[in-house]
Amino acid sequence: MSPEIDAARLLARIGALARISASPAPAVTRLAWTAEWREAADLLLEWAAQAGARAWVDPVGNVIAERSGAETTKPPLVTGSHLDTVPGGGPLDGAYGVVAAWEVLASLYDAGIRLRHPVRAVAFVNEEGVVALPYTGSRAVVGLVDEAELAGIQMDGRTLDMIMSEAGCLPEALHEAEWPQGAAAVVELHVEQGPVLDSSRVPVGVVTAVTGQQRGAIEIRGRANHAGTTPMAMRRDALAAAAELVLAVENLAGPGRCDVATVGRLHVEPGAANVIAGRVSMSFDLRSPIEDRTDAAVDELGRRTKDVCSTRGVEVDLDPATPTRPVAADPVIQDTIEIAASQLGLESLRMPSGAGHDCAILARNAPFGMIFVPSTGGVSHHGSEATPDAALVDGARVLLRCLIDLDSVIDVGGANE
């Protein structure tokens, strides 16, 4: 018997996770290490038991369920996503990939199939970074969380290790969360969180790379003054300068440049209708799947900033944060996803992921790939986040087929083992 996704079970479980929320439906709020997170983790352990899988919560809070492989020495094929949401998020971001990973285990169990590799389903903790720095779970797996981070005070005034301990985790055993054996492959299934698949009516996205990201802050200091009595030529208007820089940032995106460039935050002081702005602080966010493009964009922004300073008599500080480098998906896994979709009669589209994901963190230790399904209207991080049921089922079918194919494609003694 060939393993099959149980559509009803998949959809019911997505609904069951969505109901474990600190906010009224349809919004879902399930922050890492909270009571809601713990309740969801317990449900995953229960589902794992029903699928005959060994399951545990690791020291930092990743929920892991594993079906052993026919060959005992092989590193696992890993699939999963994150269990936490943003405040007032949707039912699919993270949860969909988690439920699908557990569904893969269940379908293999139902069909009595054992792959050569172990299959490891993971529900990563704190991907969103609402409670602490993002990607805590996946970073812990590859050794990128240290004791200093655990001792750091978080937004609610407690240290991260206090938060973890109170949630029943074992932060003192941090390093036992690492996977010294790595993984044979990592495949994450996720909603696109953007409008590309939905608007082009393609059901499957094959992620080529998780884009690099350069965030930063711009602070503009002009001179606050009376809006009625200060002649235009004698102004140092921080908001007019900021307006030029908002448009300059937008212009950093385009062919041969960044994919996207955004100013989402802008704060004006003193912020009164009859007072010329004396100070503006604003964000910028530049993303590209191609190395060096965000660096070039920051250089260009620096030049535009100098122009604005000299023409407007303002002072501008440009403060880029440490960039996140783009991470390319493994070409073999990309091909395998594309072939799996095709075998299931589903059209697919190669595309970068503009958002960061746990699988790109794991790329340090393992080849990774990523499958997208359409987000209706491109909406995410909102209660109205949705994907048609058929597309959710199709995505899980592609994931299952892809993992089964990878199990044979990735050969003993290959580069990745």
Which CB atom, from 9 or from 215, has the smaller least distance to its own copies? 215
Q: How far is 414 from 102, CA to CA, in rounded Å?
A: 27
Nearest one of 197, 306, 211 to 253, comparing CA atoms: 211
Kindly provide the residue ranges of all beta strands, DSSP E only, lying in 354-412, ordered along the sequence.
368-373
Q: Annotate 29-54 with b (16+ C-beta within 10 A) or e (fewer).
A: bbbbbbebbbebbebbeebbeebebe
Contacting residue, 379, 405, 409, 416, with its own copies by CB under 8 A: 379
Taking the complex as a whole, the smallest distance from the CB of residue 327 to its own copies amounts, in Å, to 14
Taking the complex as a whole, the smallest distance from the CB of residue 286 to its own copies amounts, in Å, to 10
The pattern of x and - marking residues 50 through 89 that bind its own copies according to CB under 8 A reads ----------------------------------------
Which CB atom, from 331 or from 377, has the smaller least distance to its own copies? 377
Work out the number of other CB atoms within 10 angstroms of the CB of residue 227: 14
Contacting residue, 62, 107, 136, 193, with its own copies by CB under 8 A: 193
Q: Does position 237 bind its own copies by CB under 8 A?
A: yes
Indicate the Cα dihedral angle 89, 92, 98, 99, nearest 10°: 130
Which CB atom, from 63 or from 308, has the smaller least distance to its own copies? 308
Contacting residue, 66, 84, 103, 192, with its own copies by CB under 8 A: 192
Taking the complex as a whole, the smallest distance from the CB of residue 129 to its own copies amounts, in Å, to 10
Q: Does position 283 bind its own copies by CB under 8 A?
A: yes
- Find the binding residues for its own copies in span 133-162 (CB under 8 A): none
Which CB atom, from 193 or from 387, has the smaller least distance to its own copies? 193
**Residue in this structure with the two tokens 């711009």, named with its chain if needed:** 218
Are 59 and 177 a contacting pair, CB within 8 Å? yes
Q: Does position 219 bind its own copies by CB under 8 A?
A: no
The pattern of x and - marking residues 262 through 281 that bind its own copies according to CB under 8 A reads xxxxxxx-xxxxxxxx----
Contacting residue, 69, 137, 171, 194, with its own copies by CB under 8 A: 194
Q: Does position 303 bind its own copies by CB under 8 A?
A: no
Residue 226 pairs with which residues in a beta bridge?
Answer: 275
14-22, 97-105, 372-380, 395-403 -> range binding its own copies (CB under 8 A): 372-380
Please list, in sequence order, all residues whose beta carbon lies within 8 angstroms of the beta carbon of residue 406, skipping any fewer than 6 positions away: 77, 184, 185, 187, 333, 336
DSSP 285-337: EEEESSTTHHHHHHHHHHHHHHHHHHHHT-EEEEEEPPPBPPEEPPHHHHHHH
Are 118 and 54 a contacting pair, CB within 8 Å? no
Which CB atom, from 62 or from 353, has the smaller least distance to its own copies? 353
Q: Site for its own copies (CB under 8 A): how many residues?
A: 59
Contacting residue, 34, 136, 208, 211, with its own copies by CB under 8 A: 211
Contacting residue, 58, 84, 188, 259, with its own copies by CB under 8 A: 259
Taking the complex as a whole, the smallest distance from the CB of residue 386 to its own copies amounts, in Å, to 15
Which CB atom, from 165 or from 230, has the smaller least distance to its own copies? 230
Work out the number of other CB atoms within 10 angstroms of the CB of residue 228: 8
Which CB atom, from 112 or from 228, has the smaller least distance to its own copies? 228
Residue 219 pairs with which residues in a beta bridge?
Answer: 281, 317
Residue 191 pairs with which residues in a beta bridge?
Answer: 373
DSSP 62-129: -EEEEEPPSSTTSPPEEEEEE----TTB-SSTTHHHHHHHHHHHHHHHHHT---SS-EEEEEES-SS-
Fill in the DSSP letter of residue 253: B
Contacting residue, 58, 127, 285, 338, with its own copies by CB under 8 A: 285
Q: Does position 378 bind its own copies by CB under 8 A?
A: yes
- Half-sphere exposure (Cβ direction) of 3: Cα atoms closer than 13 Å: 25
The pattern of x and - marking residues 114 through 133 that bind its own copies according to CB under 8 A reads --------------------
Q: Does position 374 bind its own copies by CB under 8 A?
A: no
Question: Which helix (H) or strand (E) covers residue 218, if one does?
Answer: strand 212-221
Are 196 and 260 a contacting pair, CB within 8 Å? no
Q: Does position 195 bind its own copies by CB under 8 A?
A: yes
Residues that bind its own copies (CB under 8 A): 192-196, 199, 211, 213, 215, 225-232, 234, 237, 239-240, 242-244, 246-247, 250, 253-254, 259-268, 270-277, 283-285, 287, 353-356, 378-381
